[in-house]
A and B are shown apart, each in its own frame.
Chain A
């Protein structure tokens, strides 16, 4: 989204859109209508940024809630494996087999 200057004076508003991997610049207009369009685009951008921030914080909160459970889960896995290996088992292809000696 940008205001472009004309060589002979005056300015016009354009929007950029990505379509099929290419960026297309679209002429919107000049004068009050272009001002309104620019204002609407700015508001939309701000709302989008606020939503991204909100979602980012929400995901961080979810990950923080899950983190201790996941850490303990990994610890339990290590301990269970150590106990089984100490008791004479070996894991092969996800299955435990008892070994001699």
Chain B
């Protein structure tokens, strides 16, 4: 890993308290609606319309900047590699989001792209350390460290695959929602009150 102070950087790369509060409200209302609370659904729709564009925007921004930080770390000071990684991330964004994505699709795309970058970086780190582990004994890593590192990689990979599935699912279900009831925010699709 390069000399990037990841902790300092990640301090900036986090959702605000306000955004977290909105997310907690959305989560609670979704739960109530699913449990059959009829009043909750209207309230959820109102909250989705009122607060989600801003929350989605902020989360997308954090995801984008997190991906850039990871690319910087993965490049390890090599500017050409860093540029290539940024170009790759941009290419992935354009390919995955497609034309005229909804704000939610943009966020889900950023999620896939940043998780891809995280998995790629972790795989490279694990591979480097495995190579180091067959060399000089004094450089060898403890089994518990290798295990913990593998768990972080496994968790990131699982989330990456889940993120791809989620985007595909949202697109499929979004397409099935009648225009009058949609709440996904595609142009021309307006949900009633």
**A45 lies within 8 A of chain B by Cβ:** no
**A65 lies within 8 A of chain B by Cβ:** yes
Q: Mark interface residues in B96-118 (1 if CB within 8 Å of A CB, else 0).
A: 00000000100110110011011
Nearest CB in chain B: distance from A95 CB, A: 9
Known: A73-B115, A79-B59, A82-B30. A62 touches B23 (CB 8 A): no
Which of chain A's residues 15-34 have a Cβ closer than 8 Å to chain B?
none
In angstroms, Cα B175 to Cα A84, docked, is: 12
Other-chain residue from B73, B142, B148, B170 in contact with A65 (beta carbon distance below 8 A): B73
Known: A67-B14, A68-B13. A85 touches B170 (CB 8 A): no
Determine chain B's interface SS by DSSP, over half rule.
Answer: helix
Other-chain residue from A60, A65, A73 in contact with B111 (beta carbon distance below 8 A): A73
In angstroms, Cα B55 to Cα A74, docked, is: 13
* Interface bin, chain B: 35 or more
Q: Mark interface residues in A49-69 (1 if CB within 8 Å of B CB, else 0).
A: 001100100111111111111
Other-chain residue from A61, A81, A83, A91 in contact with B7 (beta carbon distance below 8 A): A61
Nearest CB in chain B: distance from A73 CB, A: 5
Residues in chain B within 8 A of chain A (CB atoms): 1, 6-7, 9-10, 13-15, 19, 23, 26-27, 29-30, 33-34, 41, 44-45, 47-48, 52, 55-56, 59, 62-63, 65-67, 69-70, 73, 104, 107-108, 110-111, 114-115, 117-118, 121-122, 125, 138, 141-142, 145, 148-149, 152, 156, 159, 163, 166, 169-170, 173-174, 176-177, 181-184, 191
Could you list some 20 contacts between A and B, CB below 8 A?
A62-B1, A64-B10, A69-B115, A72-B15, A72-B63, A73-B111, A73-B114, A75-B15, A75-B19, A75-B23, A75-B107, A76-B111, A80-B170, A81-B27, A84-B173, A85-B44, A86-B183, A87-B181, A87-B184, A98-B176
**Contacts A51-B142, A68-B14, A79-B55 supplied; 19 other A-B pairs, CB < 8 Å:** A47-B138, A55-B141, A59-B149, A64-B6, A65-B73, A67-B10, A68-B13, A69-B117, A69-B118, A70-B156, A71-B15, A76-B166, A79-B59, A82-B48, A85-B44, A86-B30, A86-B45, A87-B182, A88-B181
